Amino acid sequence: NGKYLVSLIEGDGIGPEISQSIKDIYAAADVPIEWEPVDVNPILKDGKTAIPDAAIESIKRNLVALKGPLATPIGKGHVSLNLTLRRTFNLFANVRPCKSIAGYKTPYDGVDTVLIRENTEGEYSGIEHHVVDGVVQSIKLITRAASERVLRYAFQYAESIGKKKVRVVHKATIMKQSDGLFLDLGLELSKQFPNIQFDSELLDNTCLNIVTDPTPYNDKVLVMPNLYGDILSDMCAGLIGGLGLTPSGNIGDECSIFEAVHGSAPDIQGKALANPTALLFSSIMMLQHMGLNEHAAKIQKAAFDTLAQGKYLTGDLGGKAKTHEYAGAIIDNLK
Ligand code: IPM
Ligand code: MN
C-alpha cells in the first residue's frame, strides 16, 4: 500500500497514552507509515533477559522502531530491557540533540548542541562480581572496536549537520586506561576528518561550563563513553526544559530505534497528564533518518508553534492541558 512499516513499542506506564498521540498526529499529517505493534515483554533465554523472537523479527524486518519508556528495575531483577534492545541490535551510537525550543522559556536561551553516547559497553557492560562479603566490582569495559565505531559516527554526524567541532568528554585523568583509549582513538580518527576540529574536555569541567554558559557548545558534537552520556544528557535536557522535550535515536548499522529518554512515570499513568513531546521529537528524528524530511518538518513546525502559543501545555511545562488536548492542538497547527 506504499506505506513504510515501522515497529512500535508503546512501552510501560504512560507509554500507550503518548504513543496514541503520535499515532493521531501522524494520521492527521498523512505520514506514509503503518505501525506494527511489538510486544517486548522479556523472556528468559539461557538464564538471561531476552526479547521475544517475534519482536526481534519485526524490528529486523522494518529496520526502524519507535519506542516508549520501558520500566527498569533498580538493583536486583532482570537486566534493563532498554539495554537489552540496544545490545540485541548493536545500536552503537545514542544520539541526543539538545536544542532550545523557541517560545518555551527556560533560564537558558539558544542552546543547540548534540551529545553522542557510546551505547553498548562501558559501565553498562553488565559485568559485575560479588568478590567477598562487602566487596563488589562493576567492570567498565572499553574496546577499540566499539569506541572507534561511535567516534567515527560522531565525526560523520557532525559533518552531516554542519557542526564544525567534535569534542570527546572524558575522565582520562583518573580512568587512565579506559577513557585514555577512547580519547586516543578520537585524536587518531580526527586525522581522517580534516574539516572538523577536534578537542577534549574533562567531564566535570563540561558539567560546570555548560550550565554556566551553554552557547560555546553550539558548534560542537560531544561524544563520550556510555555512563557519562547518560548523566550529561539528562543535565543538558534540564537546560532546555526537561526530559519531556528531549529526543533520542539509537543508531546501528542495520536497525535503529528512536526513543523517549524519560521514564514510564507510573504515578501519572492513565490520567492523560503525560507530555508526548519527547516521543514525538524522537519520531521526527526517525522520519529524518528515513528520508521523510517534508513530513518531519511539517510536524516539527506544528509542535513548535503549539509550544510557543503556550495555550495547551501539559502539566510538566506549567500548563493544564491533557495529553490529547495538546496533541489536538498540534493537529490543528498542521493545517
Ligand atoms: C536512558 C535511560 C536508560 C539508561 C535506562 C532506562 C536504562 O536512563 O536512556 O538514558 O540508563 O541508559
Ligand atoms: Mn538516562
Q: What pLDDT, in 10s, does the model give residues 211-224?
A: 999 999 999 999 99
Lowest mean pLDDT among 47-56, 122-131, 320-329: 47-56
Half-sphere exposure of 213 (CA within 13 A, CB side): 2
Rounded (10°) CA dihedral 40, 46, 47, 48: -40
Number of the ligand 1 atom closest to the C-alpha atom of 248 = 9
For a substitution probing ligand 1, which of 82, 226, 251 has the most ligand atoms within 8 Å of its CB?
A: 82
Please write the tens of the pLDDT for every residue from 238-258. 999 999 999 999 999 999 999
Give a three-class secondary structure readout of 20-88. Answer: HHHHHHHHHCCCCEEEEECCCCCEEECCEEECCHHHHHHHHHHCEEEECCCCCCCCCCCCCHHHHHHHH
**Predicted confidence (pLDDT) at residue 128 exceeds the cutoff of 90:** yes
Q: Is 127 helix (H, G, I), strand (E, B) or coil?
A: coil
What is the per-residue pLDDT for 130? 96
Ion ligand 2 — residues with CB < 5 Å: 230
What is the per-residue pLDDT for 121? 96
pTM above 0.90, yes or no: yes
Is the Cβ–Cβ distance between 93 and 257 less than 8 Å?
A: no
What is the per-residue pLDDT for 252? 98
Amino acid letter for position 137:
Q
Rounded (10°) CA dihedral 187, 193, 195, 200: -20
Of the chain, the percentage scoring pLDDT greater than 70 comes to: 100
Phi, psi (rounded to 5 degrees) for 104: -105, 105
What is the per-residue pLDDT for 33? 98
Phi, psi (rounded to 5 degrees) for 42: -65, 145
Is the Cβ–Cβ distance between 306 and 277 less than 8 Å?
A: no
For a substitution probing ligand 1, which of 78, 80, 120 has the most ligand atoms within 8 Å of its CB?
A: 80
**Predicted confidence (pLDDT) at residue 72 exceeds the cutoff of 90:** no
What is the per-residue pLDDT for 49? 78
| C-alpha 197 to ligand 2 mean position (Å) | 28
What is the per-residue pLDDT for 73? 76
What is the per-residue pLDDT for 74? 79
Is the Cβ–Cβ distance between 151 and 185 less than 8 Å?
A: yes
Q: How far apart are CA 100 and CA 239, in angstroms?
A: 8
Query: Which ligand is the nearest neighbour of the Cα of 278?
Result: 1
What is the per-residue pLDDT for 44? 83
What is the per-residue pLDDT for 14? 97
Domains of the chain: 1-91+252-335 (3.40.718.10), 100-244 (3.40.718.10)
Q: What is the mean pLDDT of the chain?
A: 96
What is the per-residue pLDDT for 159? 97
* pLDDT (mean) for 286-300: 97
**Predicted confidence (pLDDT) at residue 102 exceeds the cutoff of 90:** no
Q: How far apart are CA 203 and CA 261, in angstroms?
A: 21
Q: Which residues line the pocket of ligand 1, CB cutoff 6 A?
A: 72, 80, 82-83, 230, 261
**DSSP string computed for 173-242:** TTSTTHHHHHHHHHHHHHTT-TTSEEEEEEHHHHHHHHHH--GGGTTEEEEE-HHHHHHHHHHHHHHHT-
Short-list 207, 199, 253, 252, CA closest to 223: 199
* pLDDT (mean) for 281-289: 98
Please write the tens of the pLDDT for every residue from 149-163. 999 999 999 999 999
Is the Cβ–Cβ distance between 237 and 246 less than 8 Å?
A: yes
